[in-house]
Amino acid sequence: MIQGEEFPVLTKSRRISPKVLTALQRLDTLIARRPKASVAVLTEISETELASLPQVAEEVCGSDHPELAKVLHTLAVFYHSTYNLDRAETLYRSSLLCAEKAFPEPNLELGLILNNFGRLLHEQRKFPEAQELYERSLQVLRQAVGPDHPKLGTPMSNLAELYRESGNLTLSRSLLQDLIPLLEKAHGPDHRRVVKAREQLSLLTQLESWSSSQT
């Protein structure tokens, strides 16, 4: 993606260097665990530049601008991937507040923020708040990109995992049964994500069978 397409306002400002914006675009907000990519970014821009970026972006764009939401989200993913969880949580919360103002209609960016923030809380076993965020993510994404879009796959998988871990096997199975055909349509029947989802459903069936035998 060309730098100006994602950050047109910030690109025009002399307060943020092209090097910083290019580095931001290299961070993948779809996957919150890519430490090698994140460490590589630190060879190009300093921690000081990263730390000052939210304030500078807000001064350039305003407090409820889509580009600020994107900056905060990307930085949250960066700190998430490098296991600075307190900083990541602060940035996720800030990006969510900003995105809720910046996007009055359901939006892909908002849906991804909700999922990634949910994943952070899920990893910390804060199940009730993580569940709420995953469910909101699915609701937003269904409205933003459609009910059969492959981008729903990640929050569906995450939520199914959370349901299983919290003991709600019925809801977990239902989600996995919906997830498998969605992924098959997007990636084909032999894709690794499809195989993984089938394995999760098989494991869940075994757990349900074992649970029934204990009652």
Q: For the residues of 5-35, what is the DSSP string, one character each?
A: HH-HHHHH-TTS-HHHHHHHHHS-TT-S--H
**What is the fold, at CATH topology level, of the domain defined by 104-215?**
1.25.40
pLDDT value, residue 42: 66
What are the extents of the domains in the chain?
Answer: 1-102, 104-215
pLDDT per position as a tens digit, 86-121: 999 999 999 999 999 999 999 999 999 999 999 999
Confidence bin at 31 (pLDDT 50/70/90): very low
pLDDT per position as a tens digit, 120-161: 999 999 999 999 999 999 999 999 999 999 999 999 999 999
Instruction: Find the range with the poorest average confidence among 96-100, 104-108, 181-185, 209-213.
Output: 209-213
Longest dimension (CA), the chain: 67
Q: How far apart are CA 157 and CA 186, in angstroms?
A: 15
As a dihedral over the C-alpha atoms of residue 108, residue 109, residue 110, residue 113, rounded to 10 degrees, the angle is: 120
pLDDT per position as a tens digit, 40-59: 666 677 888 888 999 999 99
Structure tokens of 48? 């000081």
Residue among 175, 179, 185 nearest 153 (CA):
179
13-34: average pLDDT: 72
As a dihedral over the C-alpha atoms of residue 43, residue 45, residue 51, residue 55, rounded to 10 degrees, the angle is: -160
